[in-house]
Amino acid sequence: MSWTRFDPTATFIRVPVRIVGLQGVEWLGMALDTGSNRTVLSELAAIRLGYDLVSAPTVHIVTASGIAEARLIFARQIFALGMTVDEFPVLVMPLPTRLRADGLLGLDFLRCRKLFCNFEKGILLTLPFSRNLMHRFALSAQIFAAL
Amino acid sequence: MGEIRPEPIEQIRQRYKNEWLLIKVTKHDRSGFPIEGILLLHTPDKEEVHEAILNLRERGETGELMFWFEGPLVPEGWEVVLSVLDEV
């Protein structure tokens, strides 16, 4: 079980994410975005982490405001919400500087586990998928603490 | 010149409001989240932190760097609409 605290009064849910790139490791603030099917990293962050965006493959994307292009890279490792995933595909695109986050943590990452959100207390809780009835009871006890 | 000592990240965050912080992480909690570090830079200019990280990496810095804004996640008067779907 892993708890992550967030500011429930903030404009969006920002979570700390550790990204291991080709050149160094960075902790960045990323917006939790269940409306994105892919995890997105800002162009500047990808450059700092040592990725060559010119040679990276292009992907077409649709956003709330239209169609755009992004680059596809593979983060050596991503750690967020208590989960670690290696060689994780990430879309890279410019993000507005007014957005004080360096990326979007999308559904592709969130699908790895169960996610519980307490908007009142500002708690995100991630749990493994339940294997059997006993495991389900054990997980329920952990969720209880976050209620 | 005295040695710069790591301090709790929470303490650093409380000291600098509405600024971008660049912190070299020196300690994590049991869950792996950064709890202690050395403040390398604080500025309202995000680009300045970006340049500072590039310079540090060029000089061989390989440690964990935390790049964090302390304050409202968008300027006052702005709203946020996200969502990205690939494979159009």
Give residue-wise pLDDT tens across range A103-117: 999 999 999 888 999
**Quick one: pLDDT at residue A77?**
98
Integer Cα distance of A101 and B11 in angstroms: 21
Domain boundaries, chain B: 7-70
Of the candidates A86, A35, A94, A97, the one whose C-alpha atom is nearest the C-alpha of residue A70 is A94
3-state secondary structure B13-60: HHHCCCEEEEEEEEEECCCCCEEEEEEEEEECCHHHHHHHHHHHHHCC
* Structural element, H or E, at residue A145: helix A133-145
For the domain covering A2-145, report its CATH number. Answer: 2.40.70.10
Cα–Cα dist A73/A57, whole Å: 8
What is the amino acid identity at position B40?
L
Backbone angles phi, psi at B71, to 5 degrees: 150, -165
Q: Could you tell me if A31 and A99 are in contact, meaning their C-beta atoms sit under 8 angstroms apart?
A: yes
Q: How far apart are CA A97 and CA A22, in angstroms?
A: 24
Percent of chain B with pLDDT over 90: 73
Mean pLDDT across B74-87: 85
Determine the Cα–Cα distance for residues A83 and A80; give it in Å rounded to an integer. 5
Judge: A26–B65 Cβ closer than 8 Å, yes or no: yes
> Which residues, in sequence order, are bridge partners of residue A88?
A75
Please report the number of interchain residue pairs, chain A to chain B, with beta-carbon separation below 8 angstroms: 124
Is the CB of A70 less than 8 angstroms away from the CB of B32? Answer: no
A104 contacts in chain B (CB < 8 Å)? 82, 84
Q: Which site among A44, A60, A104, A126 would you substitute to test the B interface, given the most B Cβ atoms closer than 10 Å to its Cβ? A: A44
Residues of chain A with confidence (pLDDT) below 70: 1
Burial class (CB in 10 A: 0-12, 13-18, 19+), A15: middle
**Partner residue opposite A61 with nearest CB, options B64, B67, B88:** B88
Interface test with B, best of A23, A39, A100, A126 (most B CBs within 10 A): A100
Average pLDDT over residues B50-67: 95
Mean pLDDT of B63-73: 95
Q: Tell me the C-alpha distance between A40 and A71, whole Å.
A: 10
For A32, the 3-state DSSP assignment is strand
Mean pLDDT confidence for B35-61: 96
> Which pLDDT band holds residue B2 (cuts at 50, 70, 90)?
low
**DSSP code, position B82:** -
Residue B1 confidence (pLDDT) above 70: no
pTM of the model: 0.91
pLDDT at A36: 94
> How do the domains of chain A map onto residue ranges?
2-145
According to DSSP, residue B4 is labeled P
Spatial distance between the Cα atoms of A48 and A28, rounded to a whole number of angstroms: 12
**pLDDT above 70 (res B47):** yes
pLDDT for B48 equals 97
ipTM comes to 0.91
**What type of residue is A114?**
K
